[in-house]
Structure 1
């Protein structure tokens, strides 16, 4: 199943990379989002690969929604993680594919085709980037910490975002807003980022990243400090999570309460 997920991500990613430098024409441009035909085509290619190998599996993908079949296996697909980045020519986007088995996340693949970065993990077997084992860093000084902020598309206003992120901007080295959530989790898994704060965002956007970060040793909790426990996927359910290298976790969690 891991190899099939990699195959699907690679095929979709190659298509997205080929189209990346073109002048893209959106199907629809919204206040906080954009709809691209490339998103749908990437999705079509991923679903074709998954159903060719696993015709009985259920798939949830951003554009087509739930394609219900066997409920034991559910593939959670984001065919273009970072659509707005892709649209404006900013090379920070990925293909994200996760597998839920009997309600538990067991596999994640995130592919950044521009950088040639294939991240993957299976539960209990570690996380990898192009075959190299991943591990979070050991930073302890919050003034040197670099993090990212992820918020739900329509669940947080810009005014709320500004108020909430102020302590992180002032107290840590840098807070980024990359708008490609799955890829953010992978950067943390490889020690490039120190923390991620996620505010009322859908699990679909980060499902593959969760597996990869956890297998790399990341601490994942809700804002109250309760360890993350995956619940069977629900399309409209948002979560607020804190992810870190573990050593900075309580310090960063303190900034949420400020």
Structure 2
């Protein structure tokens, strides 16, 4: 199943890369989002490959929603995570594919076709980037820590976002707002950054990244410090999480003020 997920991500990613530098015409452009035909075509190719090998599996994908079949296996697909970045020619986007088996996340694949970065992990088997095993870093100095901030669409105002992120801007080296959350978790997994703060965001965008980060040794909790437990996927379920290299976890967590 991991190999099929990687194949689907590769095929969809190749299509997205081919279209990337074109002047894209959106189906719909909203205040905080954009809908592109490339989203739908990437999704079509992924579903075709997964159902070609596993016709009885259920798939949830961003554009078509739930394609319900046997619910023992549920594929959670974001065919273009970072659509706004893709639309403006900013090469921070990915194809994200996760698999849930009987309510438990068991594998994740995140592919950035422009950078040629294929991240993947299976539960209990470690995390990898292009075949090389990866792990979180060991940085302990808050002042040198780099993190990312993830928030759900329309979940808080921009004014609330500025107030919330101010401590991280002031007290750590840098906090990024990449608007491509699947890849953010992979940055943590590969030791490129030290922390992630996620506020009221859907699990669909980050399910694959969470598997990869966990297998790379990341510590993931809710804002109160309770260890992360995956709950059976629901498309509207929003979560607020903090993740880190472990050594900085409590330092970062106590900086969170709702």
TM bucket (normalised to shorter chain) is over 0.9
* TM-score (ref. length: structure 1): 0.99
How far apart in 2 are the matches of 1:143 and 1:81?
Answer: 30
How far apart in 2 are the matches of 1:196 and 1:168?
Answer: 11
Deviation at 1:46, TM superposition (A): 0.2
Q: Does residue 185 of the first structure (1) align with residue 162 of the second (2)?
A: no
Q: How does 1:78-227 map to 2 (within 5 A)?
A: 78-227=78-227
Which residue of the partner structure matches residue 16 of structure 1? 16
Q: How does 1:245-256 map to 2 (within 5 A)?
A: 245-256=245-256
Deviation at 1:157, TM superposition (A): 1.0
Match of 1:257, SS state, is coil
How far apart in 2 are the matches of 1:58 and 1:191?
Answer: 33
RMSD: 0.6
Q: Which runs of 5+ in 1 are unaligned?
A: none
* TM-score (ref. length: structure 2): 0.99
Deviation at 1:154, TM superposition (A): 1.4
Which residue of the partner structure matches residue 239 of structure 2? 239
How far apart in 2 are the matches of 1:79 and 1:30?
Answer: 19
Residue by residue over 1:113-151, the C-alpha shift from the partner in whole angstroms, topping out at 9 and shown as x without a partner, is: 000000000000000000000100000001000000000
How far apart in 1 are the matches of 2:29 and 2:165?
Answer: 26
Residue by residue over 1:3-32, the C-alpha shift from the partner in whole angstroms, topping out at 9 and shown as x without a partner, is: 000000000000000000100000000000
Which residue of the partner structure matches residue 76 of structure 1? 76
Deviation at 1:179, TM superposition (A): 0.4
Whether the aligned pair in 1 keeps the contact of 2:96 and 2:208 (CA below 8 Å) is yes
Deviation at 1:257, TM superposition (A): 3.4
Q: Runs of at least 4 residues of structure 1 off by over 2 A?
A: none
What count of residue pairs does the alignment treat as equivalent? 258
How far apart in 1 are the matches of 2:82 and 2:243?
Answer: 19
How far apart in 2 are the matches of 1:149 and 1:17?
Answer: 26
